[in-house]
Amino acid sequence: MVKKSIIAIALMCMLSTVSYSQDGFPSGQFKVDGLWPATIQISYTPQVICKIPVYIKVGMFIQVENCGNKKITMEQVNCPQGQSFPCYKGCTTIKVRSNFEAKLSLQKNDFQTGIIDNGKWKAYFSSDNGATVKENNWIIPGDGNYTSVDVCVEAWDANIYNGNPGETKQVGEVAILAIPTADPDYCDYCP
């Protein structure tokens, strides 16, 4: 026991002679007069000699929440002026978020089912299920919060005789496209 106490006292004396002198030294240097700082267990103690700032170059991000679960099922409706019977309509609500202001647009993709002829259907954005506002483009703010908007589809002059009664058949697809609203010449994050 006495031997361990003597060793501990000797180590304490040794450590007390170590002086730290970093004044006047630029970042990235560490100076010790004597032995490297150690703990009582006689192991070296790590010393901070340099701090390096870490940055991230944020890329552009846009997301449609649960896109894979979305679908539009059209149902027969009264035909609006300019559309011929039979007419169909359906909408689904999407939530979109991005870290840049983006303009969304829609692209129709026809499937050759013989039920809806090419050009006899349209897709649009609506703020209240198509009742008053129908837009081909929609602006999403770049604040990172979800913004909700309806995606609606209308079809007219449908060839329903090419389908079976009660059948739900995919007749097309609507793709959501996005593009930054900022002018690329003035946008640091644009490609």
Same domain, residue pair 45 and 6: yes
Q: How far apart are CA 64 and CA 95, in angstroms?
A: 6
Pairwise CA distance, residues 37 & 155, whole Å: 80
Whether the CB-CB separation of 33 and 21 falls below 8 Å is answered with yes
Measured in degrees and rounded to the nearest 5, phi and psi for residue 161 equal: -70, -15
b/e per residue, 106-136, with b = 16+ CB within 10 A? beeeeeeeebbeeebbbbbbbeeebeeeeee
Tokens of 27: 């970042």
Phi, psi for 186 (deg, rounded to 5):
-115, 15
**Amino acid residing at 186:** Y
The verdict on 24 and 93 lying in the same domain is: no
> Which amino acid makes up residue 44?
Y
End residue of a domain, out of 52, 72, 91: 52
Domain of 165, CATH number, reads 2.60.40
Secondary structure of residue 8 in the 3-state scheme: helix
- The one-digit pLDDT tens for each residue of the chain (191 residues) are 444 444 444 445 444 444 444 455 566 777 778 777 776 666 778 899 999 999 998 888 999 999 999 999 999 999 988 888 999 999 999 999 999 999 999 999 888 778 887 678 999 999 765 455 677 899 999 999 999 999 999 999 988 888 888 888 888 899 999 999 876 665 665 55
Q: Are residues 123 and 177 in the same domain?
A: yes
Residues 44 and 16 occupy one common structural domain: yes
Q: Which domain holds residue 8?
A: 1-52
Report the amino acid identity of residue 143.
D
Q: What pLDDT score was predicted for residue 20?
A: 43
- From 52, 70, 86, the end of a domain falls on 52
Residue 57 inside a domain? The answer is: no
Amino acid at 18: V
| φ/ψ bin of 185: left (φ > 0), alpha (ψ from -120 to 50), beta (otherwise) | alpha
